[in-house]
């Protein structure tokens, strides 16, 4: 009898729990971004932030316990990545990849280890950086090796030095399957499987010895290979063959290509400005010089020393929509901004940088420009809005950085380290101009 009484009491208690507790299904009804419906309201004591909640009460069937979907914009800065032409030590920020949060005023997030370097040796300088959403990897070239790091785990996926110390300036094809990489001052460029690091072949460029800077067309089919010399080689990636050359008036330094790979804009030795080449004809069609009074007297005075890479201008970028061309000014330590909406580029303004800048990379959507002076510049206003600093508050003077957008730890979008025109952005600008002309 006692046993029956205990059984009846337990059953009653169980019934009370069932009646008094909402079903698990009802309790976990959520919005599309995984936040419980009961919490998807804005209140002063607990604002609702779509797709970004980390409140434990938002635990739902679509998200991990305690966290909503994580969408982040980050800058990956590779170190040591250049010394701003000797103005700063390339080793002052150590070795690794420093990650900064764009949406939190570029605050320090973490440092990703890359290589262990003996104290008795100087670290290898990073000579290029690229990333691929298809592989979820970031690729670092040094003058010694090429390595891939998994962006989900921050662990090295593979590395190789191939047939001798390499590498320079990797670029990845749009499908994420292939890397084209400079051989580090030799006369060929590597073509590499982006997933495994396996060598697919080489593009020989005997007229462009000392492989250095490069650019890859938006469709991934055409590569532009610049030497430490005057003759640039244009190569076909699928066939791994050189198809033409372009000869400039002086040694080619950093350069960029437009959205359809029909024009090249190149910095040269002994020039504050750039030359423009027509890819179809293989000829230089225009030389754009900054006003002589801005630089020629200073550059001609051999008693003066300028920080930079031995030339008045080492750094050039197109805004994604190609409405502007930005050019580093290593004579006056600033940036020249050219209007590029007419027949030829026209200088429209300049602005100073906090130090010598030797590289420009345009960020996602062209919102920010990242300079090797450590400056982050808002493209629309031309104002310096932040500096890239490491965990110790030291400005990083790297020339190798990328802005990347992630969702749930997966790389969704990134940029080229070279500030190249982007087809969709150019088309949008031209369509907007056509619409304005039609409505007038």
> What is the C-alpha separation between 440 and 434, in angstroms, rounded?
10
Instruction: Kindly tell me the burial class for residue 198, based on how many C-beta atoms sit within 10 Å of its own C-beta (0-12, 13-18, 19 or more).
Output: exposed
Asked, for residue 440, whether it belongs to a domain, the answer is: no
Q: How many domains does the chain have?
A: 2
Asked, for residue 356, whether it belongs to a domain, the answer is: yes
Token code pair at residue 231:
């003759």
Q: What is the pLDDT, as a whole number, of residue 438?
A: 65
Identify whether residues 243 and 150 lie together within a single domain.
yes
Q: What is the pLDDT, as a whole number, of residue 66?
A: 38
- Does the predicted TM-score (pTM) go above 0.75? yes
CB 169 within 8 A of CB 213: yes
Identify whether residues 416 and 329 lie together within a single domain.
yes
Chunked mean pLDDT (size 10), the chain, 440 residues: 48 44 50 64 54 48 45 95 71 91 96 91 92 97 94 96 90 96 91 97 93 94 94 97 97 97 98 98 98 96 89 96 97 97 97 94 97 96 97 94 94 96 95 74
Identify whether residues 166 and 204 lie together within a single domain.
yes
Identify whether residues 103 and 30 lie together within a single domain.
no
Identify whether residues 31 and 76 lie together within a single domain.
no
Asked, for residue 194, whether it belongs to a domain, the answer is: yes
Q: What is the pLDDT, as a whole number, of residue 43?
A: 57
Which residues form the domain of 52?
2-58
Q: What is the pLDDT, as a whole number, of residue 29?
A: 73
Question: Helix, strand, or coil here: 320?
Answer: coil
231-236 vs 241-247, strand pairing mode: antiparallel
Asked, for residue 9, whether it belongs to a domain, the answer is: yes
Asked, for residue 438, whether it belongs to a domain, the answer is: no
Identify whether residues 198 and 321 lie together within a single domain.
yes
């Amino acid at each position: 009898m006692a046993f029956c009484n205990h059984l009846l009491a337990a059953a009653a208690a169980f019934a009370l729990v069932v009646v008094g507790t909402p079903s698990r299904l009802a309790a976990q009804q959520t919005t599309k971004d995984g936040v419980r419906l009961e919490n998807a309201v804005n209140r002063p004591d607990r604002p609702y932030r779509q797709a970004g909640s980390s409140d434990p009460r938002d635990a739902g069937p679509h998200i991990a316990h305690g966290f909503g979907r994580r969408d982040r914009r980050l800058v990956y800065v590779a170190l040591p990545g250049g010394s701003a032409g000797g103005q700063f030590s390339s080793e002052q920020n150590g070795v690794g990849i420093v990650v900064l949060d764009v949406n939190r005023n570029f605050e320090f997030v973490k440092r990703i280890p890359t290589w262990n370097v003996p104290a008795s040796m100087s670290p290898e300088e990073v000579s290029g950086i690229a990333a691929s959403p298809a592989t979820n990897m970031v690729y670092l070239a040094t003058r010694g090796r090429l390595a891939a790091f998994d962006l989900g785990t921050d662990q090295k996926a593979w590395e190789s030095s191939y047939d001798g110390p390499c590498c320079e300036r990797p670029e990845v094809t749009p499908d994420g399957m292939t890397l084209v990489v400079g051989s580090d001052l030799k006369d060929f460029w590597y073509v590499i499987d982006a997933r495994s690091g396996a060598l697919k072949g080489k593009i020989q460029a005997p007229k462009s010895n000392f492989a250095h800077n490069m650019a890859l067309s938006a469709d991934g089919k055409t590569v532009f290979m610049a030497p430490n010399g005057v003759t640039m080689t244009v190569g076909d990636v699928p066939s791994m063959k050189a198809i033409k050359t372009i000869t400039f008036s002086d040694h080619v330094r950093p350069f960029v290509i437009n959205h359809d790979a029909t024009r090249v804009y190149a910095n040269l030795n002994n020039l504050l400005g750039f030359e423009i080449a027509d890819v179809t004809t293989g000829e230089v069609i225009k030389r754009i010089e900054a006003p002589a009074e801005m630089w020629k007297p200073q550059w001609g005075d051999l008693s003066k020393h300028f920080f930079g890479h031995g030339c008045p201008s080492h750094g050039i970028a197109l805004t994604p929509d190609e409405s502007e061309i930005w050019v580093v000014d290593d004579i006056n330590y600033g940036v020249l901004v050219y209007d590029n909406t007419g027949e030829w580029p026209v200088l429209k303004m300049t602005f100073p940088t906090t130090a010598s800048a030797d590289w420009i990379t345009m960020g996602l959507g062209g919102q920010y420009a990242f300079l090797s002076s450590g400056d982050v510049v808002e493209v629309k206003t031309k104002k310096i809005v932040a500096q890239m600093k490491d965990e110790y508050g030291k400005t990083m003077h790297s020339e190798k950085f990328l802005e990347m957008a992630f969702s749930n730890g997966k790389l969704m979008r990134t940029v080229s380290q070279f500030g190249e025109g982007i087809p969709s952005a150019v088309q949008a600008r031209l369509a907007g101009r056509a619409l304005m002309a039609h409505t007038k």
